[in-house]
Chains A and B, each alone.
Chain A
Amino acid sequence: KAGVTQTPRYLIKTRGQQVTLSCSPISGHRSVSWYQQTPGQGLQFLFEYFSETQRNKGNFPGRFSGRQFSNSRSEMNVSTLELGDSALYLCASSPGLAGQDTQYFGPGTRLTVL
């Protein structure tokens, strides 16, 4: 089975721009979660999508948004980029079942905001 894929792998943007990141989950997985990793804050949960609906949300401003398509692929959008948004953005997929639902991560998208 192919793993989680994320595109692009690297991205450079300037302050004020917006960016869209893409994630394709493992085949059959219906849940896609997004995380941000920074040296200062570590790995932090952004949000989770399941069956095209946002099911859980972390403590990030509204500039961070996402969506999920009928084939479970997901996109994350960040508007009005700030320098502090520079981070590794990770997508994880899982079957989406209750209880012991293990998330598998993609390679990440490294976003640099100049």
Chain B
Amino acid sequence: DQQVKQNSPSLSVQEGRISILNCDYTNSMFDYFLWYKKYPAEGPTFLISISSIKDKNEDGRFTVFLNKSAKHLSLHIVPSQPGDSAVYFCAAKAAGNKLTFGGGTRVLVKP
């Protein structure tokens, strides 16, 4: 039972344009959501998070939107840079410290 899903396995975007990554979840008990960026053979790097009591959180080029009624969140990266090319994971947690991850979206930013 996949409680967190990233339906787009890959995304290609031109440098300077917006990257939009999507994530859907099924567990209504999730109350904290995070996005991580990962390079091969390295650990995930924390990017941004959002609590279920908010619908938007912004940090520099990264903005996360949460639609609780649709059980959907998205990550916007503006403007996209070649260094953003990586795999992006969304993760969610309910009570306790267990993170449930989506399958990841590979982003390629073309110069």
Interfacial residues, chain A to chain B (CB-CB below 8 A): 4, 6, 31, 33, 35, 42-45, 48, 50, 55-56, 58, 88, 90, 92, 94, 96, 98-108, 110
Contact = CB atoms under 8 A, between A and B. Distances in A.
B36 interface: yes
Contacts of B45: 105
Contacts of A96: 97
B34 interface: yes
B42 A108 contact: yes
Interface in B69-111: 89, 91, 93, 95-104
Nearest to B44: A105
Given A99-B32, A100-B32, A102-B49, A108 B43 contact: yes
A56 B98 CA distance: 7
